[in-house]
Homo-oligomer: A and B are copies of this chain.
Amino acid sequence: MIKVGIIGATGYAGAELVRILSRHKEAEIVWYGSRSYIEKPYASVYKNMFQIVDASCMDDNMEELADKADVIFTATPQGFCASLVSEEILSKTKIVDLSADFRIKDVSTYEEWYKIEHKSPQFIKEAVYGLCEINREAVKKARLVANPGCYTTCSILTAYPLAKEGLIDMDTLIIDAKSGTSGAGRGAKTANLFCEVNENMKAYGVATHRHTPEIEEQLGYASGRKVVLNFTPHLVPMNRGILVTEYASLKKGVSAGEVASVYEHYYGKETFIRVLEEGACPETKWVEGSNYVDIGFQIDKRTGRIIMMGAIDNLVKGAAGQAVQNMNLLFGIEEKEGLDLVPMFP
């Protein structure tokens, strides 16, 4: 059994790790780190886990944890992992970091968008960007995995094959993204109260959202050139789910059939990516609770643009599910172990 430690186990992403790992056949959680709830039974914080998890919360002592765990998930605020990771820790255990600390290769870009100093730039190069379907082989050999952001996972995977194959004009790419509210975390903020979110919708972080450079970097690698794009997130009155609607000019003469076969080529054998039939629009509910990414597209001949759409559960494929998928890769077990989750409808 893989021994798993979680730091930040009582945030929504941490709780989703607990939910998924509680049914994983080759892993067991040995550490439920949560500074806010030390010594409190985990199931008193998340009562859905009553009689499923018996353990109590622990502190966030990463050095101690490195001795006890084969892998540590850090579901923590930006800066936490970078401020504590060390060669000694990495020599004892693997880390899957769910924060942004090691996602961006250019440290100045990180510091500019996140407004904090990076405390461990020496590990950035080594860290593998854990978008499993794209970087599978690299993840297998990693010590430190930078688990992608929720918006970025959905945004990148939706456009990746077309970016890679040069079917779209990358200068025209616009990503309009919509997210359920669990993406905002469990912090007690007025803006996230039920009455403020329910029956309401808004854009936020327009032209400034931190997932932008992460998307640009990865799609830059895919297309072999620098990418600058617009990414606009919106808050939607639902718990889970991200939907992205992406617009780009299609290269001249590219047909729907070509697009479909490029998607098929890249994703046809992927367990967790479902390319819908042409013209079908993904819905977030179809992937709720699961690790799936659903992708659809439509070509508008009038404007010459393609509209690509992707849907994920932000807490699963957008956070905890992908983190477990990365863990499975790290330890050479079946990639879908623990992730054979059927979407719940309704």
A contact set with B: CB distance below 8 Å: 12, 15, 19, 22-23, 46-52, 172, 174, 176, 178, 180-182, 186, 188-190, 192-204, 206-207, 228-230, 232, 234, 236-241, 243, 245, 247, 274, 276, 280-290, 294, 298-300, 302-303, 305, 307, 309, 311, 340, 342-346
A276 B195 Cβ-Cβ under 8 A: no
Contact between A206 and B307, CB atoms less than 8 A apart? yes
Q: Which residues of B contact A176 (CB under 8 A)?
A: 176, 232, 245, 247
Residues of B within 8 A of A204 (CB): 281
Task: List the B residue with the shortest CB-CB distance to A342.
Answer: B19
Taken together as a complex, chains A and B put the C-alpha atoms of A172 and B294 apart, in Å, by 27
Number of copies: 4
Query: What is the bound-complex CA distance between A201 and B284, given in angstroms?
Result: 6
Known A186-B195, A189-B188, A199-B199; contact A345-B48, beta-carbon cutoff 8 A:
yes
Q: Is the CB of B286 within 8 A of A342?
A: no
- The answer to whether A203 and B243 touch (CB under 8 A), given A276-B50, A286-B48, A346-B12, is yes
CA–CA, A236 and B238, complex, Å? 9
A172 CA to B304 CA, complexed, in Å: 11
Given contacts A12-B346, A181-B194, A307-B206, A199 and B50 within 8 Å (CB-CB): no
When distances are taken between beta carbons in the complex, the residues of chain B under 8 Å from A234 are 178, 243, 245
Task: List chain B residues, Cβ under 8 A from A285.
Answer: 48, 196, 199-200
- The smallest C-beta distance from A23 to any residue of chain B, in angstroms, reads 6
Cβ B346 vs Cβ A198 within 8 A: yes
Give complex CA distance A22, B46 in Å.
27
Which of A19, A48, A237, A343 lies at the interface centre, i.e. has the most chain B CB atoms within 10 A of its CB? A48
